[in-house]
Amino acid sequence: MYSLNCKGKLLSWGKPIVMGILNITPDSFYAGSRIGSEEMLITHAEKMLEEGASILDLGGLSSRPGALEISQDEELERVVPAISLLSSRFPNAIISVDSYRYKVAVAALHTGASIINDIGAGKNEGMAELAAAFQTPYICMHMRGNPGNMQRYTNYDDITAELLDFFINRKEECIRLGIKDLIIDPGFGFAKTIGQNFLLLKQLKVLGMLGLPVMVGLSRKSTIYKTLNIKPEESLNGTTVMHTLALEQGAQILRAHDVKEAVETIRLWTSYASAKDVPG
């Protein structure tokens, strides 16, 4: 059983949950996730909540490999009005801000976000301290470099052991700062080759020894569509397979573009995992 105190909203779960992805970006790797208007944002968010998303994760800066970094002001212009709109339209929704910039995260928390999803894992000054100050859940992801250059840093002696060591250190630091609710994300695709992503997924249970909920971001990623030689738009089936494998390895949060399918995957896997032999 896990629980998060999201600025007074309690999120508790006994089986894995889904975080729905809302991209306020024109250059996200998956075109189907790009939101270009307030109407689209409301429609997408409402659909995700109806389909069973426990968290809405909103980002205004693409983190795909090789992505160009926009200015902080441009990211603010995308993120803040969107979170304000979501929080006013869906006051009971739990909203996460997907950003590694302090100024953006501060503005988002003041506007209605109640979780920080930091792909920088606190490397940017003040991010972890901000989560501690607001007593908000903090998602700490592993990445080397930045989205623009991260694929240059894929040299590991033992990727799973190095990630475990990384998260042990980050957990100690976050506890020292006073963060109460910490989530870890191994960062599939971030400074990792396709082969390393598969190996890390196969050994994901190792991260369970930290006693923290593990979130995975595998939805429609290049590990799927490049392996299958298809396009991101054709990778929903592959995503479901990867989500099933992640659940089997202890994942507690699926960060997904397709909420309905991810929720169904969890329901089926949960039924499978809890099934018992019946005599006769």
Task: Tell me what pLDDT residue 5 has.
Answer: 96
Q: Would you give the DSSP letter of residue 119?
A: T
**Could you tell me which residues are beta bridge partners of residue 140?**
118, 184
> What local confidence, expressed as pLDDT, does residue 162 receive?
96
Q: Per-10-residue mean pLDDT for the chain, 280 residues long?
A: 93 97 74 73 96 96 71 91 95 96 95 94 82 96 83 92 96 95 96 96 97 97 96 96 98 98 98 78
Q: What does the pLDDT read at residue 30?
A: 53
Residue-level pLDDT at 122: 64
Give the pLDDT score at 67: 62
Q: How many CB atoms lie within 10 A of CB 15?
A: 14
pLDDT at 123: 72
The mean of the pLDDT values for the chain is: 92
* Rg from Cα positions in the chain: 18
Beta strands per DSSP E along the chain: 2-6, 9-13, 17-23, 55-59, 95-98, 115-118, 138-141, 182-185, 215-216, 253-256
Q: What is the pLDDT of residues 94-103, one digit of tens each?
A: 999 999 999 9
- What pLDDT sits at residue 62? 77
Structural domains of the chain, with CATH = 2-271 (3.20.20.20)
Other CB atoms closer than 10 Å to residue 36's CB: what's the count?
11
Q: 253: which 2 tokens?
A: 């949060």
Residue 69, helix vs strand vs coil: coil
- Supply the pLDDT for residue 280: 52
- C-alpha separations of 249 from 176, 199, 269 in Å: 29, 12, 12
- pLDDT value at position 1? 86
Label residue 227 exposed, middle or buried (CB < 10 Å: 0-12, 13-18, 19+). Answer: middle
Q: Residue 151: its pLDDT value, please?
A: 82
Give the three-state DSSP class for 114. Answer: coil
Distance of CA 150 to the CA centre of its chain: 18
pLDDT reported for residue 150: 82
DSSP 154-178: ---SSHHHHHHHHHHHHHHHHHHHT
Residue 210: its pLDDT value, please?
Answer: 97
Residues noted as catalytic: 221, 255
pTM for this prediction? 0.93
Q: Angle at the Cα of 150 (from 148 to 156), degrees rounded to 5?
A: 175
pLDDT at residue 146, rounded to an integer: 75
